Amino acid sequence: MKVSLILEIAKALMLARFKQTMIAAIGVVFSITMFVALLGFMNGLNKLLDGLILNRTPHIRFYNEIKPSVNQPIDLADEFSNFYNIIRSVKPAASRLSIYNNEAIIRTLEEDPRVLGVAPKLSAQVFYNVGTIDITGVINGIDVEAESKLFAFTDYVTAGNYIDLKNTSNSIILGKGAADRMMAEIGDVIQATTSQGNRVQLKVVGYYQSGLGDLDNVQSYASIGTVQKMMGETASYVTDIQVKLKDFNLAPAMARDYRDIFGIDADDIQTVNAQFETGTNIRTLISYAVGITLLIVSGFGIYNILNMMIYEKMDTIAILKAIGFSGRDVNNIFITIALTIGFVGGTIGLILGFMAGLGIERIPFETEALPTVKTFPVDFNPKYYIIAAIFSIVTTYFAGYFPARKASGVDPVEIIRGK
Amino acid sequence: MLETPVLEAQKVNKYFFSPDKTQVLKEVTFQVTRGEFVSIMGKSGCGKSTLLYILSTMDTDYEGKLLIDGEVISGKSPSYLSKIRNEKIGFVFQFHYLLNEFSVLENVMIPGLKLNKKSRPELEHIAMEKLKIFDMQDHALKKANQLSGGQKQRVAIARSLMNDPLIIMGDEPTGNLDKRNSDIVFNIFKELAKEFKQTMLIVTHDAEFAAGTDRIIEMEDGYIIKQ
């Protein structure tokens, strides 16, 4: 069948009912705009919230957990080997927190091609001595360069320069909450007591603000060397090894493998942060549901308008059939009309949706909790645009399908005689 | 050798089922040969229009056999019938039925565009020629709804000629026109018959019109009573 003739007739019919066609198209424009803007905005927020946790969470974390020994002495005794032994109130064994042979482990991990980077870490419980009172806190000893490269450490240092942590000896970047409590300005020297009883003087070189208030009240950062010195430990004392992978989906399997090889505990990001993924999924689901509802509603609009057009154009359909157009041709004409509305509306909708995204991205969004965010986040992932484009075509096709089938079934004799 | 009839109906029966089963066509058998100008006459309700729609292939719900140009077309697929209508049959209806969305020229061209055997400029030329026959060339670029009734009917006849059909069928083509216009249209039909040897089958209840045709088929109560 000649496509150009079908197109020409479809065009003439649309122009004859230009206003209605426009209204149908505007429906599509609106829903596609909303769909794209909504998903972009929703996922921008999702990414931001996930990033808040996930950017700073190692994909795999190796550590020694304080826990009761799995092998109790009674299990080794021959005389009780045939018994089912229950021991109540088992206490954890005094195991070392430091990871044994951590240099070799780090070297092995760095040689693994799946690994993006490794950062050792050390946590120390301290009391900040402020006048007569002590405030509890945790000082994380970090490899400053690795930490900022792998875990976006610099993003959260809101005042001061992060590299001073490495360059100035006995320096500390205080959590914003802790700093506020101590009223410590940058350049001040604070005093802290470790759990071993050592007193140290630390110079404040910056503030750290993650956006999670509880964390900022407690966590502070110092270089790994400083913390080792504070604790009176050697340079090989490391309590955590943090690993970032190239593909974080490999984390569970790799954590399992290395747990067995090194004989230490390993947590993967998926296990630790399962709840974030659930939240993300549900938010995405809701935004898709709203977007698709909008599209379906606009689909009904198109359905109505095409139906009306068919009643108005019964004569035209009858005459087309009488002069040799088959039901299929008539069907194609109305499907073409529907798809044109979908295509034009969809294209304009995508452009407007993109512009809406740009607009939202400019709205100021400043909050204490999120120091790195100045405006609303929008995700311009092409995936949403592709989904929206496909959906605009699919829904308009189905909206046109039934009216077109009705039109193709019009009996010309009935119309022509019925006058 | 006998020439194949352009149109042949063999024992065509047709029933209406609502409200009751009534037979509207009874054993209708006749032929139309090439170049003939035939009219079907009869009172309102005698089944003449029904017969025409069966002959036109638009109505397929009948018993009997229908041949166009020697080819049996009863029981053919709807899309094949569409093709036959496009290529071999030209229609003129009582109520003009032009496509108001298109210009006069486009209206005339559409059957040709649908047939898709000639290029667009060629079709435009042919359509213009057809319009000239009826002295409508000056209106070619007007929209169909800007014409008067008589003019519309002339354009409709031009359109029916577009693909040089085997036969033109008309359902009361003058039924909705005033005396002057109906005369014009009638003269056009006569001219087509005489000059172009166009085969035509026209349903009418206008005795004056019928009198001017080569042959009158008279119908009553679903029977052909006189040919």
Band the pLDDT of B98: cuts 50, 70, 90.
confident
Q: What is the pLDDT of residue B1?
A: 44
DSSP-derived 3-state class of residue B133? helix
Interface of A with B in 271-300 (CB under 8 A): none
Which of A320-329, A367-376, B134-143 has the lowest average pLDDT?
A367-376
Q: Which string of b and e fits A187-202 if b means at least 16 CB within 10 Å? A: eeebebbbeeeeebeb
Instruction: State what percent of residues in chain A have pLDDT above 70.
Output: 98
Given a cut of 90, is residue A76 above it in pLDDT? Answer: no
Yes or no, beta carbons of A319 and B97 under 8 Å apart: yes
- Out of A5, A318, A327, the one facing B78 most closely (by C-beta) is A327
Whether B40 and B91 have beta carbons less than 8 Å apart is answered as no
Mean pLDDT in residue range A155-175: 85
Mean pLDDT, residues A38-56 taken together: 80
Average pLDDT over residues A373-386: 86
User: Are residues A5 and B87, on separate chains, in Cβ contact within 8 Å?
Assistant: no
Give dist(CA B224, CA B227) in Å, integer.
7
* pLDDT band of B132, cuts 50, 70, 90: confident
Helix (H) or strand (E) run with residue B211 in it:
helix B207-211
pLDDT at B9: 79
Quote the pLDDT of residue A369: 64
Within-domain flag for B69: no
In this structure, what are the phi and psi dihedrals at residue A158, rounded to the nearest 5 degrees? Answer: -85, -20
Our CA-based measurement puts residue B84 at a distance from the nearest CA of chain A, in whole angstroms, of 7
Is the separation of the CB atoms in A74 and A84 below 8 Å?
A: no
| Mean pLDDT of the region A133-151 | 86
- The pTM of the full predicted model, rounded to 2 decimals, is 0.72
Q: Once rounded to an integer, what is the mean pLDDT over residues A233-250?
A: 85
CB A11 within 8 A of CB A337: no
In a domain, B195, yes or no: yes
Q: How far is B210 from chain A (nearest CA, A)?
A: 21
**Domain spans, chain A:** 3-54+276-417, 60-80+93-267
Residues of B within 8 A of A324 (CB-CB) are 82-87, 111, 114-115
Highest mean pLDDT among A101-105, A319-323, A356-360 belongs to A356-360
CB B67 within 8 A of CB B8: yes
A15 interaction partners in chain B (CB closer than 8 Å): 101
Question: Which residue shows structure tokens 């311009």?
Answer: A380
What residues of B are in the A interface, CB distance below 8 Å? 49, 53, 56, 58-59, 78-79, 82-87, 91, 93-95, 97-102, 110-111, 113-116, 159, 171
Q: Does residue A254 register a pLDDT over 70?
A: yes
Summarize the confidence of residues A356-362 as an average pLDDT: 90
ipTM for the predicted complex comes to 0.84
Residue B152: which CATH number?
3.40.50.300
Residue B13 lies in a domain: no
Q: Determine the residue among A319, A325, A337, A410 to mutate to test chain B binding: the one whose Cβ has the most chain B Cβ atoms within 10 Å.
A: A319
Q: Which of A251, A266, A288, A248 is closest to A50 using CA atoms?
A: A248
The answer, yes or no, to whether residue A391 has pLDDT greater than 60, is: yes
Chain A neighbors of B86, CB-CB under 8 A? 323-325
A312 touches chain B (CB under 8 A): no
CA atoms of A394 and A342, how far apart (whole Å): 8
pLDDT at B2: 59
Q: What's the rounded mean pLDDT across residues A40-65?
A: 81
Q: Is residue B27 part of a domain?
A: no
- Tell me the shortest Cα–Cα distance from B1 to chain A, in angstroms: 32
> In chain B, which residue's Cα lies nearest the Cα of A329?
B79
pLDDT at A401 exceeding the cut of 80: yes
Task: Tell me the pairing of strands B7-16 and A115-130.
Answer: unpaired
Number of structural domains (chain B) is: 1
**Residue at B66 is within a domain:** no
Domain span holding position B164: 36-44+77-226
Amino acid at B87: E
Report, in angstroms and rounded to the nearest whole number, the Rg of chain B calculated over CA atoms. Answer: 17
Strand partners, A191: A129, A201
pLDDT of res. A355: 93
pLDDT at B149 over 80: no
Q: Above 60 in pLDDT, residue A419? A: no
Mean pLDDT of chain A, nearest integer: 84
User: Is residue B192 situated within a structural domain?
Assistant: yes
Residue A352, pLDDT > 90, answer: yes
